[in-house]
Structure formats: C-alpha cells, structure tokens
Amino acid sequence: MARSDQRVAIVGLGYVGLPLLVEFGRTRNVIGFDLSVQRVVEISKGYDRTGEVEEQYLLAVMDNLTITHNIADLSDANIFIVAVPTPIDESNRPDMTYLLEASRLVGSVLKSGDIVVYESTVYPGATEEDCVSVLSEVSGLKYLEGEDSSIEGYYCGYSPERINPGDRVRRLPDIVKITSGSTPLAASVIDDLYREIIIAGTYRAPSIRVAEAAKVIENVQRDVNIALVNELAIIFNHLGIDTESVLEAAGTKWNFQPFRPGLVGGHCIGIDPYYLKHKAQSVGYHPEIISAVRRLNDSMGSYVVAQLVKAMTRRGIALEGARILVLGLAFKENCPDLRNSRVVDIVAELNEFSCRVDVYDPWVSVQEAEVELGISPVEAPDEQSYDAIVIAVAHREFREMGAESIRAFGKPNHILYDLKYVLAKSEADLRL
C-alpha cells in the first residue's frame, strides 16, 4: 500500500489516540473518531481536557483533521489505529468491552486490503484470538496472517502505546515504538507508517504476540520494583530508619535502580499485570510473583492510613470526626488523569474511621471526580482547620507551597504525612 493510497483513521481520542492524531496530522490528512460527542466538540475547538496536547499544537494541524463521532466518516479509511481503554473489572479481570466494541465498529466499515492496528494494552494473543474474530464476523472478510498472499482479506497489527501522561520531556515522537503485523507485508507498511512520526525510531517485533507480551511486561517489571521498595519502606518504618535516606545512600552505586515507594495506580502499572495474570491462569499457570506484588501494592493505601492513625493517636488527636486534608487525587503528579487512582483507598479507609475528609487537587475536574470516583474535591482547603494533612500526589503546586504554607491548613496540633517526599525530612511528621 503506497503512502499516497493510505487513509489513516484513529479510533479513540483519549490520552493515546489524540497525540497520535496530532502527530500524523502534521504531514497527512487523518480521521479522528470518538463516540463521545462532547469530546469531539472539545477537540474541534482546540481543547484537550487530558492536557496531553496543548491548544496551539492542536489548532496548528486542524486543517488536516477530520474529527467525528459519525461511523460513516470512517468508510474512507483503509488503515485503522484502535486506541481505546482496556481496564479491569471489580474482580480485577480484564474488561475488553471497549476493545471489542471498537472492533465491531471498525469491522462494520472494513474493506478488503485494509489494515487494523491495535495500540491498547492487552494480554498476549488478544489481538488475534479476540479482536480478529470480531472483525471477521462483522466484516465477513478473511484475516490474512503468516505467509498468506491471498488477494481478498484484511490485515492486523499491534503497536503498543507508550504514552506517559503528564510527561513533557518524553513525548510520543521521542519514545521508540514497537510495531508488528500479521504478514510481512502488513508489518512493513505498519512500521513505515509509524516511522513517519516517531523520531526515536521503531522496533519491528517478529510477531503480534511478541509485541503484546513486550508491552505488558514493561509495567509488570515496574510493578515488581515498586512493590520491592514498598516492602522495604514498611520494614524500615518498623526499624525506625528513614526510607528515603536509605535509598539515597544505596543510589550512589551505578546500577541501583531509583524506584521510590508509594501508591500504585493509573491505567498501566496497576492494571497491566492483571492482564498477564489472567492469560497465565488460562493456560494453567498461577503467577506467584505477579500475584504477590499486586496484593502488596494494592494494600498500600491501608498501610498509609494505619500509620497516620497511629501518629494521630500518639498526639492525642481523636479519630472520630477528625478533619483530614488529602492533597492530590490524580494517579500521578502534574496531570489530571484519575484512572485507577489509589488515593481513593486512603479516603475510603479514613471514612471507615469516621473522619471528615477533604480532597484538594488543582489538576482534576471536580465533575469528573464526582462521576468517576464518587469524591467531590474542595475548591480550596480551609486555613487552620485540619487534624492531619496527607500529601498524596507530588503536584508542582504542592512543591511550590512549601511546608509552611501546607501546614497553615492544619490546626496547632496536627500531623503532616508526606507520601511523595515533596518536603525535606525535617519538615514532615511522617514519610512513607
């Protein structure tokens, strides 16, 4: 498929899809599709609520974009890039609803010779075992794979997203992109396509399953490393040793990895291991390390609250009715992303102790927090009103406040718990 014949469509315009749309839009006409009418209207006006694409960059390529929620507008495309969420359900099992619905949608406009590329994080085999069956059923077309040189049929590929929300240094073009295709021809076309926008270059995996596996273990590895330092933090707290001081000392060796303890949320590290665990169990293997890591990291909210409760009790601060200020609700610093935020675990635990919890986060949408998490952040904290303050997210606004301004929210006798090492050791009462 020559470049002049390629008509690209991005299906799903969230944290992953919109940056793709803008980068492709710099050099070619491209279709952006999202089921959310509100999202389509906002993007058409140059506004990205995720904060990943600034207005000036979005407006600069607008003439090359067709942004739509109308399925019929996808009919002109022959390369579809699917970038929709792949969350987990309440039982921590993969929820493929969005991915399969997107596959049905694409299948309804799929033509012979078309290519469908998936970017959503999945378990190895999902593209060809789950998505392809939907595409073939809806389109009535043959899936072309291996050395198949049939004239009629469609191709698939997998190129996992590597977006780091809130990162202004490592942007989409600056991160090496893994690519793969169902046939050598498809793999070549897909790799060439991404090379147009990825300055850092691409890496062509030998198969779709290898590309899927490579993506999912990126975050499994990070999950394991964070769990290790979380456990170390718990041990050092029992020993009365400051964890950050230990990590700084150990970090003087060239090969010591600079992981820090904390809550593990978001749409990657806290989700992807469950996808691999699910697949492993489906073939009869129970992953011991991945399971243990998930249990430990998912329990950190409870541990944080237990530490805070002990500190308050030692200070003679009554728990029932105590006012607690939690600074930060997004899953990570300097971004509005609420997906799988584990700050909710701290809020829920404190509510169990009949505390009155205020959450303040200058980055997040109050309406979105209410809808997605059932939490209503305050517009501003009250001065001299809180029995305890928890710095849960290291937003730059909190760093700029400094200890004195943050403590101004507390009563004369209060506890300041710094989970993210925003302050110096001497400035906080507790650190993880």
Residue 362: strand, helix, or coil: coil
Distance CA 48, CA 54 (A): 7
Contacts of 63 (CB under 8 A, 6+ apart): none
| List 131, 156, 268, 335, catalytic entry | 268
- CA–CA distances in Å: residue 180 to residues 118, 119, 150, 324, 365: 10, 11, 19, 49, 37
pLDDT tens sequence across 151-200: 789 999 999 998 887 777 788 999 999 999 999 999 999 999 999 999 99
DSSP letter for each residue of 41-62: HHHHTT--TTSSS-HHHHHHTG
The answer to whether residue 268 is catalytic is yes
Beta strands in 83-160 (DSSP E): 115-118, 155-158
Task: For residue 155, count CB atoms less than 10 angstroms from its CB and return exposed for 0-12, middle for 13-18, buried for 19 or more.
Answer: buried
Q: Give the residue-averaged pLDDT of 67-80.
A: 96
Q: Give the residue-averaged pLDDT of 204-218.
A: 97
- What is the structure's pLDDT at 164? 81
pLDDT at 127 over 90: yes
The confidence band for 131, taking pLDDT boundaries of 50, 70 and 90, is very high
pLDDT at 149 over 80: no
pLDDT at 4 over 80: no
Contacts of 215 (CB under 8 A, 6+ apart): 121, 160, 161, 178, 272
The confidence band for 50, taking pLDDT boundaries of 50, 70 and 90, is confident
- What is the structure's pLDDT at 1? 66
pLDDT tens sequence across 286-345: 999 999 999 999 999 999 999 999 999 999 999 999 999 999 999 999 999 998 999 999
Distance CA 330, CA 327 (A): 10
- What is the structure's pLDDT at 2? 62
Q: Give the residue-averaged pLDDT of 132-147.
A: 96
- What is the structure's pLDDT at 268? 86
Q: What is the pTM of this model?
A: 0.92
Distance CA 230, CA 236 (A): 10
pLDDT at 42 over 90: yes
Distance CA 154, CA 95 (A): 26
Mean residue pLDDT of the chain comes to 94
- What is the structure's pLDDT at 344? 96
pLDDT at 356 over 70: yes
pLDDT at 147 over 90: no
CB 197 within 8 A of CB 173: yes
Distance CA 8, CA 25 (A): 10
In this structure, which amino acid lies at residue 317?
I
Q: Give the residue-averaged pLDDT of 245-267.
A: 93
pLDDT tens sequence across 235-252: 999 999 999 999 999 999
- What is the structure's pLDDT at 326? 98
Distance CA 253, CA 231 (A): 21
Contacts of 45 (CB under 8 A, 6+ apart): none
CB 226 within 8 A of CB 269: yes
Strand partners, 175: none
